[in-house]
């Protein structure tokens, strides 16, 4: 259970240019004495975020990054729109700095207008929010973080890291009725798509680590965009693009808990405008998974939006082959979210290839499930979390695909509990499993504590709900939300375009050509 057995050391991170490890006085590549709390569901996270932001005072500092932000998304009921909560903080003297991905054009079904509008409205309120396109061609800034530092109250300092954006669709709760403000998605998810997600609340010295992630990006001297059209659009809209200096970083908050936390990133190797903090890129997200998965002996539990790429999942397959007692459970969306048939087909093709790799290695010790709510509507699984042997767990923005491991910017945190009776990773797994099975908290530990029993409980619950559907929904509905995942068949002439779209759009590899696979990460 010791962190050094699970975490990367500075050399294993593979990015000597960053200050993320050198900043620790004890020479560790992680911080100790933290308190990590999983916030399951967007509604849970948004309530905590609003409470924290409303408690800021003049002179405090708020830093955030986001992939997509919708100005009108309500975080916690009336009068809690994103622009209102952050704008009011800026107007009362809080220094608000944000980095929003500039985004690809909206005709590609991304979020360029929304991100621009959010930046403009927050700038008008006095915040310093920039549109950041310092990515590889076709890539994105996918990190989602908040850091709140209090000028005279370090014990209140907090960071939030995970997969939840400040946008429509994320504000769902345990009932999974969906966000009243919903984005367009595939028809199978209905007009108000149910959404499953998770964020991590961090207190203690790790807040300084997350803050450094933001500062490294903010202080990058490269142009925010190399696209001339972007500069013209900024001039016409009067969007400010100057990078104002950040205040000097405060000392790390005091220790407050038993959790060791390692901050992990993905940055691509850029040929133009190299990151000064990662001139050759960084693959610590991928490297951390390679190290931890190789140690797995009993159970790997994954919740992931994509679960694509046979190359990314080969380490899981090798672990299944090497350890006959190891089991792997994956929870994914039952259907792609894209309305485009071509993109949906490509997503299905990618997951099917990944499942073949895992099924060949693990046989009946590998299982994939999806979720549905009480009305039978699929729940879109946007969570990005992994628990290995109830000892090491991650929550972050990265998915199990090549984009997250090589191409887009990502941020995740790995947690190891250093208390006398470590339970953090186990408690996270039990909380997630309990909800999906519809169990009471008191029953979860007894029924799901043993990895083999948990694996069997998932299989039995999914079989029961599948059988209920096959029988026409006669009789009481089982309390579980689990369905056995069956990938759609990609057959005939469609296989070729699906593969092309998948490999060149959905799942590109950002490493330079000629790299051997075993050295890819």
The tally of CA atoms less than 13 A away on the side-chain side of residue 162 is: 30
Give the integer Cα–Cα distance in Å for 269 and 282. Answer: 8
Task: Identify whether the C-beta of residue 396 lies closer than 8 Å to the C-beta of residue 412.
Answer: yes
Give the integer Cα–Cα distance in Å for 7 and 295. Answer: 11
| CA distances from residue 167 to 74, 303, 442 in whole angstroms, order as listed | 9, 21, 34
**pTM metric for this prediction:** 0.96
Give the integer Cα–Cα distance in Å for 405 and 399. Answer: 8
Q: Buried b / exposed e across 385-401, counting CB within 10 Å, b at 16+?
A: bbbbbbbbbbbbbbbbb
What's the mean per-residue pLDDT of the chain? 93
Tokens 């040929």, located at residue: 271
Who contacts 236 (Cβ-Cβ below 8 Å, separation ≥6)?
Answer: none
477 secondary structure, DSSP code: P
pLDDT band at 514 (very low <50, low <70, confident <90, very high): very low
Q: What's the rounded mean pLDDT across residues 26-42?
A: 96
Which residues is 349 bridged to in the sheet?
Answer: none
Whether 118 shows a pLDDT value over 70: the answer reads yes
Summarize pLDDT for 364-404 with one digit per residue, the tens.
Answer: 999 999 999 999 999 999 999 999 999 999 999 999 999 99
pLDDT band at 501 (very low <50, low <70, confident <90, very high): confident
Whether 495 shows a pLDDT value over 70: the answer reads no
166 secondary structure, DSSP code: B
Residue 348 pLDDT: 86
Task: Identify whether the C-beta of residue 157 lies closer than 8 Å to the C-beta of residue 149.
Answer: yes
């Amino acid at each position: 259970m010791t962190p050094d057995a699970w975490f990367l050391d500075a050399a294993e991170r593979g990015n000597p240019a960053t200050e993320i490890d050198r900043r620790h006085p004890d020479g560790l590549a992680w911080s100790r004495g933290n308190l990590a709390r999983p916030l399951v569901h967007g509604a849970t996270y948004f309530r905590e975020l609003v409470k924290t932001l409303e408690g800021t005072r003049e002179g405090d500092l708020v830093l955030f990054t986001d992939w997509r932000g919708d100005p009108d998304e309500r975080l916690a009921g009336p009068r809690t729109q994103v622009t209102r909560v952050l704008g009011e903080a800026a107007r009362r003297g809080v220094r608000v700095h944000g980095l929003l991905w500039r985004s690809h054009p909206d005709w590609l079904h991304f979020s360029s207008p929304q991100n621009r509008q959010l930046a403009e409205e927050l700038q008008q309120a006095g915040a310093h929010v920039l549109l950041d396109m310092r990515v590889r061609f076709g890539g994105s800034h996918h990190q989602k973080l908040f850091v709140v530092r209090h000028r005279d109250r370090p014990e209140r300092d907090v960071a939030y890291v995970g997969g939840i954006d400040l946008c429509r669709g994320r504000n769902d709760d345990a009932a999974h009725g969906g966000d009243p403000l919903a984005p367009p998605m595939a028809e199978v998810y209905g007009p108000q798509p149910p959404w499953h997600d998770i964020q991590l609340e961090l207190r203690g010295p790790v807040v300084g680590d997350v803050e450094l992630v933001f500062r490294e990006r903010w202080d990058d001297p490269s142009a925010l965009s190399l696209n001339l059209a972007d500069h013209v659009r900024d001039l016409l809209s009067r969007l400010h693009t100057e990078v104002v200096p950040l205040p000097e970083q405060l000392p790390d908050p005091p220790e407050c808990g038993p959790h060791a936390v390692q901050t992990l990133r993905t940055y691509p190797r850029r040929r133009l405008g190299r990151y000064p903090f990662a001139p050759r890129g960084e693959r610590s997200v991928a490297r951390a998974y390679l190290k931890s998965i190789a140690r797995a002996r009993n159970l790997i539990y994954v919740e992931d939006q994509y679960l694509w790429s046979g190359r990314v999942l080969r380490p899981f397959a090798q672990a299944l082959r090497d350890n006959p007692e190891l089991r792997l459970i994956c929870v994914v969306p039952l259907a792609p979210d894209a309305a485009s048939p071509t993109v949906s087909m490509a997503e299905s093709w990618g997951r099917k290839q990944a499942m073949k790799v895992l099924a060949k290695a693990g046989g009946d010790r590998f299982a994939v499930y999806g979720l549905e709510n009480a009305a039978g509507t699929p729940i879109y699984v946007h969570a990005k979390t992994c628990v290995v042997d109830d000892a090491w767990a991650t929550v972050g923005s990265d998915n199990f695909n090549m984009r997250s491991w090589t191409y887009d910017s990502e941020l995740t945190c790995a947690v190891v509990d250093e208390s006398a009776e470590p339970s953090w990773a186990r408690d996270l797994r039990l909380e997630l499993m309990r909800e999906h099975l519809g169990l009471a908290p008191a029953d979860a530990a007894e029924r799901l504590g043993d990895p083999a029993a948990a694996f069997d409980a998932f299989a039995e619950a999914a079989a029961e709900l599948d059988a209920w559907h096959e029988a026409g929904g006669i009789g009481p509905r089982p309390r579980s939300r689990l369905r056995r995942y069956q990938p759609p068949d990609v057959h005939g002439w469609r296989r070729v375009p699906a593969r092309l779209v998948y490999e060149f759009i959905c799942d590109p590899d950002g490493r330079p050509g000629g790299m051997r696979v075993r050295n890819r990460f």
